[in-house]
Structure 1
């Protein structure tokens, strides 16, 4: 039976991000993507003009209808949310569909390059921290990691020594892991069934031993810290975080290990970004990733 992932994110007509990116990647990797839209947009918000239809009041209808169908999900993957109310709806969804054989991946979309997105509020951060606490896999970029851990983004990006930089980021990520505890009676039913929490900090600008500019993803678990770095081949594009998290979610669902998936998704994105840079694709349009989806198919 085909495995299924519930993908909670917005759907943009243009921009090659969010559900557009997630559905194509997850499908190419042999997993059924079941979209639950948080909003419908004519184009993603990086364009100068767009229309947005908020789906907050429809999210619980999806949950109720899928519950009536007796659906089960092997994974739940959350991306962009527009408000605290949407995170509350996600918690209702988790209460209904999260089981001992379901994983929860949270991409805590709140900002990038040290800048908070327009929908950010202190209350949303509080709710996002709670959602991250429930997740099995978290994929923050460096800006989002700093928001989740109340760290100084500017001070971190000023660290020139890559080894020190990675150590500092690793320590911050480690604080998001649950503390060791032998008293499971203090935990709720979801926490007692948790798998080992894994964190991937994305979009780390660093240099290799030859001084070459690199883009790194840092994997952090209870026992492991490992940097996966790729040549910095182009500018920033819409949807790369969505493509990355979708690779991780689909690969996790089909049984791949997270380190293996970081390498795979990094190689995939390197080709897509390189292609887009060569063609001078505008940032809002996203990357030319479609022609490289074959790289994600397991033979």
Structure 2
């Protein structure tokens, strides 16, 4: 069984980060090996939460796993609290990122045009350095803007889907060129120039690019990016084509989002994905 080290926080409520990655990878036939960067009572968009930062504990995992002679087929990084945690990740990669290991970097820094309140501008530079090591990067549109300098506000000044998508593809190609990684940009949301709005994802590598769009129900839920990235990692561990895996991730999330919207679940609580895990078998 293939093993993936998942370096993310563990939030008890919100269905994100480790609580999203572990079940997805498990059902896809991959052993998820968690390295928690922080433990939270709930994800940070809840009105109140407690966070225990585990920065000072991260290297204990590296040291102890090294003593065990552990090896990983994949390494999946997500939310980090700052530069010290990224430096700890660099140390982890020095030990465990070997030839044949797949590194997926989900540069969790913001959404809807804003950097998350708990993070600093300094983090962007460190995240750029981490992304240069990646085999695949999965930023959302906001994070793509932060990594490339594309003004987020400019995107919503376009008058056509084509211009919007062209601008994002240009930024994605900049990111791909700077990192030599496969790039998947999530959360595409072209301007509302008609009654029908769309949401989707874009894939870019050195040889090809494509995107997919589906109707948008206007809802945004915690953890959907984490779930999407975890499916991508699971698919890579199974040797699936990226396009095939993206389609699977989109179908999985669409079903979960539709069911969650019908139940009128608050967006901070995340999507009811558990009932749809069978789609990933």
Shorter-chain TM band = over 0.9
Q: Which residue is 1:159 aligned to? A: 158
Which ranges of structure 2 fall in alignment gaps of 5 or more residues? Answer: none
Cα drift, residue 158 of structure 1: 2.1
1:71 aligns with 2:55: no
Q: Is the deviation greater in 151-160 or in 133-142?
A: 151-160
Q: Is the contact made by 1:145 and 1:173 (CA closer than 8 Å) also made in structure 2? A: yes
- Give distance in 1, aligned partners of 2:108 and 2:157: 23
Per-residue deviation, 1:210: 8.6
Q: Is the 8 A contact 1:110 1:120 kept in 2?
A: yes
Question: What does residue 11 of structure 1 align with?
Answer: 10
What is the Cα deviation at residue 46 of structure 1?
Answer: 1.2
How many residues of Structure 1 are paired with residues of Structure 2 in the alignment? 281
Name 2:81's counterpart in structure 1.
82
Identify the residue that residue 131 of structure 1 maps to in structure 2.
Answer: 130
Partner of 1:268: 252
- CA deviation vs aligned residue, 1:259-295 (integer Å, no higher than 9, x gap): 1111110111001111111111001110011000000
1:31–1:253 CA contact under 8 A, matched in 2: yes
Aligned to 1:173: 172
The alignment status of 1:112 with 2:133, answered yes or no, reads no
Report the aligned-residue RMSD. 1.7
Shift of 1:257: 1.2
- Tell me the equivalent position of 2:99: 100
Distance 1:71 1:262 in 2: 29
Q: CA deviation at 1:91?
A: 0.5
Deviation readout 1:8-56 (Å, 9 max, x if unpaired): 0000111111100000100011100000000011111111111111100
Secondary structure at the counterpart of residue 170 of structure 1: helix
3-state SS, counterpart of residue 77 of structure 1: strand
The residue matched to 1:118 in structure 2 has which SS?
coil
Offset at 1:211?
6.3
Structure 1, gaps ≥5 residues long: 180-190
Following superposition, which runs of at least 4 residues in structure 1 exceed 4 angstroms of deviation?
207-211
Alpha-carbon distance between aligned partners in 2 of 1:122 and 1:12, rounded to the nearest angstrom = 23
8 Å Cα contact 1:228/1:262 also seen in 2: no
TM-score (norm 1): 0.91
Report how far residue 178 of structure 1 moved.
3.6
Note if contact 1:114-1:143 (Cα within 8 Å) is conserved in structure 2: yes
5 Å-filtered alignment, 1:205-220, equals 205-206=189-190, 212-220=196-204
With structure 2 as the length reference, what TM-score do the two structures score? Answer: 0.96
